[in-house]
Structure 1
Amino acid sequence: MTTVIAFIVIFGALVFFHELGHFIFAKRAGILCREFAIGMGPKVFSHKKGETTYTIRLLPIGGFVRMAGEDPEMVEIKPGHRIGILFDKDQKVNKIILNNKEKFPNCRIVEVEYADIEKDLIIKGYPDDEEESLQVFPIQQTAVIVENGVESQIAPLDRQFASKTLWQRFLAIFAGPMMNFVLAFVVFVLIALLQGVPTNEAKLGEITPDGAAMSAGLKKGDVIQSISGSEITSWSDVVEIIRKNPNQKLDFSIIRGGKEKEIQVTPQEKVVEGKKIGLIGVYSPVEKSPIQAITTGAKETYFWTKQIFVMLGKLVTGQFSINALSGPVGIYVSTDEVAKSGIFYLMKWAGILSINLGIMNLLPIPALDGGRLMFFAVEAVRGKPVDRQKEGMVHFIGFALLMLLMLVVTWNDIQRFFLK
């Protein structure tokens, strides 16, 4: 149950902050955001606030922000259609009822001659056999189309994604992966603030209860002057001497409370990567400094970003096969292993996954954010956008191939972890 909770929290946070990036920059550009969803598939939870419906969906394989203009907008209202109209207090149209008009006894029935609910916001028709032009709604307010009892807010052209500048659209898409890097940075900073940043002082940090240091009488805060006659100036010196002397008695000359003491310690032997090393069960000293924490957060973010790109390079060059990839099942199993090591390791794992999600989404693959950005680059070079139908087809094919890859990777994970 702990692993399940940890997986849900980590997955939810990664997807939430990713989609939050899209959402914030889309709203800043004035784009109508119809839905903010975590997960895919059938809705489990739904709540509408303002213009946006916030949903949690069944399948934990991503999320999305549904922006006006990204999908086919509204059903086309053609000449000859009979529609119902409801007005606001200023006698401006605020509801257009397409069917089941009998459920709205106060609506005005209009036979449409002409309708433009995106640009001109006008409906021309024949209420009571007299032609009349009706303004759909003032720009600063909202109006909806009602079909099968479901209301969908009308998005004027200036509130649709495609009407925005190339830079605004770029930011709305790029902000998702960007937020994953920001989240990872914040997580690494929090770890450094809570756990402290290791320093290179020749001073003992936390001491494990089952190690040789505790048995010999060493204490946290002891300053090491020398070990078996070798002068010590840094923590690196301490680690080097201990590791080189497994099962060998070492004489520690320390300063504790202003007084010098001599303590004999025998490092325990441990085999690491086929090599025997000595350990005494002591951690390096740490410093809890906001500045150090921010610096460490930046270094950790850079390090793991670089490592993931290295791994991607090996995958592209064939040094790794598709079997090395992991999907939700593999991530769940890895989360289970990491959770056993404690909250800080789990936080670090979340930060690494966040960077991984950000990088994967920036790859120039159709249906991913990177694929969208690639089309924006083509638009910048050509001076005009790619035909929307052609772009949509490319993204559809890309999405289908990604789902196929997801199925293959998930099946490999199931075989690897549960059917072996």
Structure 2
Amino acid sequence: MTALDLGTVLVLHKTSLLAGAGGLLLPWLGGGRPRGVGALAVGYLLLALGAFLAGLGEFGAISAETWRSSSLALGVFAYTLIYCGIRRLDRPAGRALWLLAASPVVLAVGLLTPVFDDNTLRASAFHAVAALAGLASALSLIRAGRRERLASRAPLAFALGACGLVYGVQFPLIALGFSSPGSIAIGFAVTMMLNFSIAALVVSFVRERGEETERRRSVTDALTGVLNRHGFRDAVPDFVPEGAAMLLLDLDHFKSINDRFGHAGGDAVLTRLSRLVESCLEPGEILARLGGEEFVVFLPHGGGRAADLAETARVRLAEAVIDWRGDRIAVSTSVGVALASPRRSEGREALLARADAALYRAKRLGRNRVEIDGAALSDGVDRPAGIRQGVRPHFAPG
């Protein structure tokens, strides 16, 4: 097999790597420091350095032993960094970092033994590592996509997988002696385009994730992690379907809790309430914090169980005792329930206003109770037998 004298291809390939590294460094240097991107940029730069050394070696500017071992070692280190960087986009690199130890081993073997004097062996090893890195990176992205769906994830996984496949197809051709300078040039030309694509898609991936994070932050209550008022209005349609229900919950005597246990104690109570109510909900049902100690639950198709759900949440919270710095905080909540008419759709704000009126009545009648909106009762909805008034103090001695 002839030596891989592909100077022009190596120059172009190196240019694509440098351009890709520059594109990756822009968001990283912009202040955001997105995880994984720095490792990817360094990986690109090291591949470019390896290509530069290979070019110098081809023209005799450095010794054969130096460029053969160092370029392969840099390739192994670079592709390991790229794989770790792709993993780091979604989760810690973990034990994959141990793969970086392979690079100094390759360098030592190349400097101390003549094993990499064989162009076929050296090129085969490079293509095998590149193929494994590309395919493993694509698989890592696909697996993480089950937890986080981003529009740029699939194209990025495709580009990485395609790059791995190109190197994977070249690997047996080189190892078995069937490759030619022309076929290798074609492979490098394809990977040049993929290098640009991967860098651009990583930048798009990071930008999309940042936008999604900001969107979630804008509609999520920072304390409890449930939707906030804006998120509630985004999630619930302007006109709710027939048979929907709205529950409005308000902690009783919450100001007294804050006065005695401090705002941190009050925050613990709010978090406990949100978790308790969440545990009662079924898929598709929505919990949001409207502000202060007021929460709302929307049941799009659960009007038939709305009153029972309200009573279950009230009883569970009344029976719960929250340990807080040696004290025990006992709390209760009042709940107003409003059910949309089974015969017509209704506006979201109108249903919320009816739930608020029922909540006000629960407060006026003594707190720690569930009240159903009168309009719902007039439509034939009976008060469940389990609903009862229960009064308990908001705290008990520790």
Which protein has the bigger helix share? 2
TM-score, normalised relative to structure 1: 0.20
Which protein has the bigger strand share? 1
